[in-house]
């Protein structure tokens, strides 16, 4: 089912969390928050929207990392129901696209629920204080506009890193619904 995310709740304080990656290593969200901010991406393996943006997501997050902005990806789907989203498949997916960020398993789905994640992909751009400044899509190419691609997420995260505030105009993410238990 195709869903859109709600408008950005500017200033919402993102809850800290500890999640394990597909290899069982723990990662604490606040350890990745820098003076430039943090991007949290709710993604999954089986979603055609995520598959379509996989290469761009890898490219854009590598660029953001070079600017001091970390990324964490969270997979909140019930992978017992959708086996293609299992930790073993998350590892293959991450390696396939060359992700340079931790890809984390939200086993009990509590993080997806606390962030009110709606769909995959669902992007949350935080400033250095961990306050929400961007909630939107990766870019307009994910809507079929591959020519003259506007890098909405990258531009927003760079703006947040420089000013602490995100753009007032944001296009909501859209994608597959998160598969809740």
Residue 2's pLDDT is what? Answer: 58
Q: Tens digit of pLDDT for each residue in 115-137? A: 999 999 999 999 999 999 999 99
Q: Report the share of the chain in percent with pLDDT over 70.
A: 92
Q: 1 falls in which pLDDT band (50, 70, 90)?
A: low
CATH number, domain containing residue 148 = 3.40.30.10
What mean pLDDT value characterizes the chain?
93
CA gyration radius for the chain? 15
- CA dist 116 and 127 (Å) reads 18
Q: Tens digit of pLDDT for each residue in 83-112? A: 999 999 999 999 999 999 999 999 999 999
Please state the domain count of the chain.
1
Range of the domain at 127: 2-177
**Alpha helix positions (H), the chain:** 29-32, 48-66, 87-97, 110-114, 152-163
| Angle at CA of residue 107, ends 104 and 113, nearest 5° | 90
């Amino acid at each position: 089912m195709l869903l859109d995310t709600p408008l950005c709740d500017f200033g919402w304080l993102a809850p800290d969390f500890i999640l394990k990656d597909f290899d069982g290593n723990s990662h604490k969200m606040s350890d990745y928050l820098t003076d430039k901010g943090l991007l949290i991406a709710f993604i999954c393996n089986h979603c055609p929207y995520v598959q379509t943006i996989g290469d761009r997501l890898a490219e854009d997050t590598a660029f953001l990392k070079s600017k001091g902005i970390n990324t964490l990806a969270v997979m909140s789907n019930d992978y017992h129901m959708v086996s293609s989203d299992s930790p073993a498949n998350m590892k293959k997916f991450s390696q396939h696209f060359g992700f340079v960020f931790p890809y984390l398993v939200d086993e009990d789905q509590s993080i997806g629920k606390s962030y009110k994640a709606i769909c995959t992909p669902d992007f949350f751009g935080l400033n250095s204080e961990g306050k929400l400044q961007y909630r939107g899509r990766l870019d307009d190419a994910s809507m079929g506009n591959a020519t003259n691609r506007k890098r909405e997420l990258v531009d927003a995260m760079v703006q947040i890193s420089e000013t602490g505030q995100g753009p007032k105009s944001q296009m909501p993410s859209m994608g597959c619904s998160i598969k809740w238990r």
